[in-house]
């Protein structure tokens, strides 16, 4: 994306989770160059400082481990202490499916790790930042999901049985799409849009390398697709959509099921206590 499609970012405040590496880093650098005030999130202060050094007006750093729900809450409080408005929230942070045969991992809260980081964290963070998004409306929420989606079994939400990293990843990414549709419907008429996308397939990122996969696309390709949802004025008012790269994409049928989305919302709102186990 070039030219006028990026000019609208001047003076806007953008939070990008997971912006010290890969797609998030590329987005932070591009948005900073386009004039946005970028809030860089990561877990490592040194890596975050390197992103900030790439430039842009008033870049800031917020550190938090999104595998811990208390850290998600603290991150929201810290962002609110630094700005009274948030024009764009990009929920980009996530973890991949790991290597084949890897053992099931739990977060410090006792939640299956991919569910905790790839779904619960962005869900909880977005909810807590809604006042800042409302203050900036028209504002946008962009959820970096995946074309890899698998049906959620609400009776075995944390994959206590038959665990596979790729199943855990795909179910959490479907939950992220479902959350996007659900929240878009809830926020209709508020000026806040919520969309999700699969930016590109097997980008040349640390996540793909750790899984032992070979890159099939570049980070730049994924950034082009994500920047479109962040900044393209032609998409102003567009909400409740899922894109595969630059085009509308197909989602798992469960994402269109209002009863499944309602159940997911109840579980997500309830936090740890509402998760069957």
Assign 3-class secondary structure to 33-86.
Answer: HCCCEEEEEECCHHHHHHHHCCCCCCCEEEECCCCCHHHHHHHHHHHHHHCCCC
pLDDT band per the 50, 70, 90 thresholds, residue 97: confident
Query: Is residue 186 scored above 50 in pLDDT?
Result: yes
Residues 110-158 have pLDDT tens digits of 999 999 999 999 999 999 999 999 999 999 999 999 999 999 999 999 9
Q: Does the N-terminal peptide bond of residue 252 adopt cis geometry, omega within 30 degrees of 0?
A: no
Least confident range from 43-47, 226-230, 252-256: namely 43-47
- 38 beta partners: 14
What is the rounded radius of gyration, in angstroms, for the C-alpha atoms of the chain? 17
Instruction: Say if strands 247-248 and 242-244 run parallel, antiparallel, or are unpaired.
Output: antiparallel
pLDDT above 90 as % of the chain: 79
Mean pLDDT, rounded, for 25-29:
94
- What region, left, alpha or beta, does residue 153 occupy, with left being phi > 0 and alpha being psi -120 to 50 degrees? beta
Place 105 in a pLDDT band, splitting at 50, 70 and 90.
very high
The sheet carrying 247-248 orders its strands as 60-63, 37-42, 13-16, 88-91, 139-144, 192-198, 242-244, 247-248
| Residue 272 confidence (pLDDT) above 80 | no
Percent of all residues in the chain with a pLDDT value above 70, rounded to a whole number: 87
* pTM of structure: 0.92
Whether the predicted pLDDT of 246 surpasses 60: yes
Q: What pLDDT does residue 52 have?
A: 84
pLDDT at 104 exceeding the cut of 60: yes
Which residue shows structure tokens 């994924």?
222
In whole angstroms, what is the distance from residue 268 CA to residue 157 CA?
11
pLDDT of 56: 64
Give the pLDDT score at 177.
98
Higher pLDDT, 58 or 182: 182
Does residue 88 have a pLDDT over 50? Answer: yes
Indicate which residue of 123, 169, 242, 243 is catalytic.
169
Q: What is the mean pLDDT of the chain?
A: 90
In the predicted model, is pLDDT for residue 184 greater than 80?
yes
Give the number of other Cβ atoms within 10 Å of residue 163's Cβ: 15
Residues 50-65 have pLDDT tens digits of 888 876 666 799 999 9
CA distance linking residue 244 with residue 254, whole number of Å: 17
Per-residue pLDDT at 274:
47
Mean pLDDT of 14-29: 95
SS3 272: helix
Copy the structure tokens of residue 4: 């006028």
Structure tokens at 118: 């790839």
Predicted pLDDT at 59: 75
pLDDT of residue 2: 43
Q: Is 169 a catalytic residue?
A: yes
Tell me the pLDDT band of 4, cut-offs 50, 70 and 90: very low
């Amino acid at each position: 994306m070039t030219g006028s499609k990026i000019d609208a970012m001047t003076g806007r405040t953008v939070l990008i989770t997971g912006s010290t590496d890969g797609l998030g880093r590329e987005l932070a650098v591009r948005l900073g160059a386009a004039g946005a005030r970028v809030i860089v999130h990561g877990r490592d202060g040194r890596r975050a400082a390197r992103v900030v050094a790439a430039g842009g007006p008033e870049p800031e750093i917020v550190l938090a481990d999104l595998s811990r729900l208390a850290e998600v809450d603290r991150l929201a409080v810290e962002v609110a202490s630094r700005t009274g408005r948030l024009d764009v929230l990009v929920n980009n942070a996530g973890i991949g499916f790991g290597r084949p045969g890897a053992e099931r991992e739990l977060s410090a809260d006792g939640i299956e790790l991919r569910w905790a980081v790839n779904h619960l964290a962005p869900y909880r963070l977005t909810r807590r930042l809604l006042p800042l998004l409302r203050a900036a409306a028209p504002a946008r929420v962009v959820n970096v999901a995946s074309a890899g989606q698998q049906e959620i079994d609400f009776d075995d939400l944390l994959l206590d049985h038959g665990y596979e990293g790729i199943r855990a990843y795909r179910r959490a990414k479907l939950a992220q799409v479902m959350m996007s549709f659900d929240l878009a419907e809830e926020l209709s008429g508020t000026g806040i849009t919520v969309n999700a996308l699969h930016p590109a397939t097997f980008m040349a990122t640390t996540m793909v390398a750790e899984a032992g996969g070979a890159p099939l696309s570049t980070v730049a390709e994924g950034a082009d697709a994500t920047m479109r949802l962040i900044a393209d004025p032609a998409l102003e008012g567009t909400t409740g959509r899922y894109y595969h790269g630059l085009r509308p994409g197909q989602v798992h049928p469960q994402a269109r099921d209002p009863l499944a989305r309602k159940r997911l919302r109840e579980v997500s709102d309830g936090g740890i206590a509402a998760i069957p186990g």
